[in-house]
Amino acid sequence: MKTIFHLDMDAFFVSVERILDPSLEGKPVIVGGDPHGRGVVAACSYEARKFGLHSAMPIRNAFRLCPQGIYMQGHYKEYVRFSKAVRKMLEKYFPLVEQASVDEFYLDFTGCEKIYGRPDEFAKQIQDEIWNKFHLPCSIGIASNRTIAKIASDFRKPRGITYVPHGDETKFLHPLPIERIPGVGKATFPLLRARGFTTIKDIAEASQDYLAALLGKWGLELWEKANGHGSDSLYAGHERKSISKETTFDTDVVSSETIEKILFDLSSRVCQLLRSENWMASTVSIKLRYSDFTTITRARTIIPTDDDKTVYETAVDLFRKAYTRRVAVRLIGIHLSKLSHFLEQEILFEDEEMVRKKMVRAVMKIRDKFGYESIQIGKAE
């Protein structure tokens, strides 16, 4: 049986902001942008959570609950920089490291007891090293599979360590409320509660047929999780699968020209991220949400690129063909996927395309040094 760590950085975005600006320490900090806008909370400090704030809630609601909070846009490049530093440190100790997101990691500790000792004692060493080196708090869950390790990492936040020994999976899980299971959210939670499910034990003792009838395939997966079963496989080669940017308008928009200008900006920003990771994308998608919350997506496969112009022209063509209703738009987004590594070949005679590739990468370096707004490529017509 394997031993899996789930390491979750505590309020990661806020923790990085406090490193950049120590005066934020001890204050209610909310990362997510304009508190009077229509975005959502990306992260909030534990001081802010005392007022009922949480990630993904509408930022206007957050402001109503905590008007005295400090609201900020955030520094994504700094989050990535610290995340990479933490991963590099973890790779010194663990034979397999899977990065699930910018602030969470699955680590395979199987067979390492003879080197490092008890899992919970070694977890404390890791936690202390991350704090001492980076001044970043984290929580760690340890169990026989990914699901229980993830639940355990959230059990004693912040800066908690929860070890579930082999054989104690159901003993740990069954008293917990059903919403502790990853995936039990806004849609599933009220459905289960309405039928009398309050603890994970209730789900574990339910009929599989009943759960399948109620929730389909997800009902069977839920039963497996509630009984302590789950995957123990890690993917060392886990890489970013997509990059996206979106904008929620302060006021619903009906002007196609306005939306296309926003698409132009989103295309530039998402390509900047693409190049910073040394990727190229071969699928461009857009997301369009109307004022009545109807949401549609459209996608197109293209030759791999990291060029703003190509991505924008593809995105705007998708938008023009998709925007068929006489209804105002609430949100527009762009999504790049099917990523591959950028390979810059030295050739004797450079064609126009190669010159442009070098030009956009030079623009990236200027933006990195002087800020995104310092230079633009072309303009939206």
What is the enclosing helix (H) or strand (E) of 310? helix 308-322
CB 69 within 8 A of CB 62: yes
- Count the neighbouring beta carbons within 10 Å of the beta carbon of residue 173: 25
Q: Which two tokens stand for residue 40?
A: 């959502």
| Residue 313 appears among annotated catalytic residues | no
Q: What is the DSSP letter of 22?
A: G
What is the enclosing helix (H) or strand (E) of 368? helix 352-370
Catalytic member of 104, 169, 221, 260: 104
- Count the neighbouring beta carbons within 10 Å of the beta carbon of residue 312: 24
Single-letter code of the amino acid located at 337: S
Q: How far apart are CA 2 and CA 119, in angstroms?
A: 12
Looking at the DSSP bridge assignments, the partners of residue 162 are 141
Q: What is the DSSP letter of 346?
A: -
Q: How far apart are CA 80 and CA 242, in angstroms?
A: 15
- Does a cis peptide bond (omega within 30 degrees of 0) precede residue 158? yes
**Which sequence positions are flagged as catalytic?**
104
